[in-house]
Amino acid sequence: MKIVLAASLLLIGTLGVKAQTLVQSFNDIQFWTGSGPNRSALVLQWNDGGTPTSLAWGYRWSGNATGIGMLKAIAGMTTVTAPQSPSTILDTLSGADSRLTLTMERYGFGDSIFSVSFNDGLQNRTRADWATGYWAYSILGGDFSYDTYDANWNYIGPASYSQNGSSFYPSTWFSSPIGASDRELVDGSWDAFSFAPGFTTSAVLQPYAVSVPEPSVAILVTIALVFFMLRRRANA
């Protein structure tokens, strides 16, 4: 029995120890969801003074996929509300990581990110936009055209972005001129949502790989107790 209890305590103790891996490439990403031959990465940066500053997830897909589709597929719960009316729920979706929640507001032009929260039991990261800032969107990899404007929103002309994807972490990010709903992913693409407190953007920092959720303490204790009871019966 002492051995079983010691093993249980050892298992429980390891729950608080989470090795953090700095993401150098797709190979360092631990949490993947989706299926298909193509791979993309999602980076979330709260800029709230918490550690680590940013976290990364992986997404596998086939056919066509968008930046917002990747975010919704990863978020454990996505809630879409009417603008400035959080009690008016228009849509809900469930994704892969229950620790991550996403709230969006639906406008005539599409859905806009309002808040992104992450809670793994050890840390609680959350930011909401429009009141204290907004979620800036940066990308690597893709091929699309867009319109350009000057500081006074006078139309300048068309422009284009064309960049191959890469499994290695971007050396530079491109501030996306299009929304995540219109952004088509390519194999090896990276998307970063970085909160801009006070509506001031900052550089996207190299993320750490978000861990794969571990079994809860209760589950481990139950396993240990069942093992103990079975062993006791066998020795009776």
Contact between residue 191 and residue 43 where contact means Cβ atoms under 8 Å apart: yes
**Could you report the per-residue pLDDT of 161-219, keeping only the tens digit for each?**
999 999 999 999 999 999 999 999 999 999 999 999 999 999 999 999 999 987 654 44
Residue 107, beta-bridge partner list: 110
**Could you report the per-residue pLDDT of 65-107, keeping only the tens digit for each?**
999 999 999 999 999 999 989 899 999 999 999 999 999 999 9
Contacts 24+ apart (CB under 8 A), 86-92: none
Q: Are residues 193 and 134 in the same domain?
A: yes
**For 231, what's the count of Cα atoms within 13 Å in the CB-facing half-sphere?**
10
| Count of other CB atoms within 10 angstroms of residue 178 | 17
Report residue 89 as tokens.
């729920």
What is the pairing mode between strands 142-149 and 208-209?
Answer: unpaired
Q: What pLDDT is recorded for position 231?
A: 53
Q: Are residues 65 and 97 in the same domain?
A: yes
Task: Give the pLDDT band (50/70/90) at residue 230.
Answer: low
Containing structural domain, residue 235:
1-18+217-236
Q: Are residues 38 and 92 in the same domain?
A: yes
**Could you report the per-residue pLDDT of 2-31, keeping only the tens digit for each?**
444 444 434 434 333 355 899 999 999 999
| Nearest residue to 25 (alpha-carbon basis) of 161, 165, 135 | 165
Q: Are residues 8 and 96 in the same domain?
A: no
Q: Are residues 111 and 226 in the same domain?
A: no
Q: Are residues 156 and 233 in the same domain?
A: no
Q: For the full predicted model, state whether its pTM sits above 0.95.
A: no
**Could you report the per-residue pLDDT of 126-173, keeping only the tens digit for each?**
999 888 899 999 999 999 999 999 989 999 999 999 999 999 999 999
Q: Are residues 78 and 106 in the same domain?
A: yes
Q: Are residues 38 and 9 in the same domain?
A: no
